[in-house]
Amino acid sequence: MQRTLILLKPDAVKRRLIGRVLARFEDKGLRVVGMKLMQISQELAAKHYEAHKERPFYPGLVKFMTSSPVVAMVLEGPHAVDVCRKLMGATFGFKAEPGTIRGDWGVSNQFNLVHGSDGPEAAEREIGLFFPGGAGLLDWKTADADLHLCD
């Protein structure tokens, strides 16, 4: 089992896409082990996106991510990082395949609805930022867990 961080960005929240995006992940068999609606602080946004600090889009990205609530969630399942990245689609909506989150709902190059960790190490770091010390993460089983549908 692997865990990954998913953020439903301000544009997804403002467009009332929370339930539909979450359903995509759950329909694929991923399990929500933590989720919260939150306002990202300047400090948290800066730390989360520190790898992009020298890029020209960084100030706008931080401003956007702190402009409105986001949904932060941790999803768990086999190959969760790769599965989520495929479900999200290419970064820019116009390049994303139909059937992906960004391909179906992406309307902008700048606003791409969702963030997902890009690897297991990034997932561990990002989960620690949004759920410090594992606070708010639960270990539970789905009703079909014993059927081994996800093995």
Report, as residue numbers or ranges, the catalytic residues. Answer: 115
Q: Burial level of 145, CB count in 10 A (0-12/13-18/19+)?
A: exposed
CA dist., res. 57 & res. 50, Å (int): 12
d(CA 25, CA 119) in angstroms, rounded, equals 17
Asked whether 8 and 18 are in contact (CB, 8 A), the reply is yes
Q: 133: buried, middle or exposed (CB in 10 Å: 19+, 13-18, 0-12)? A: exposed
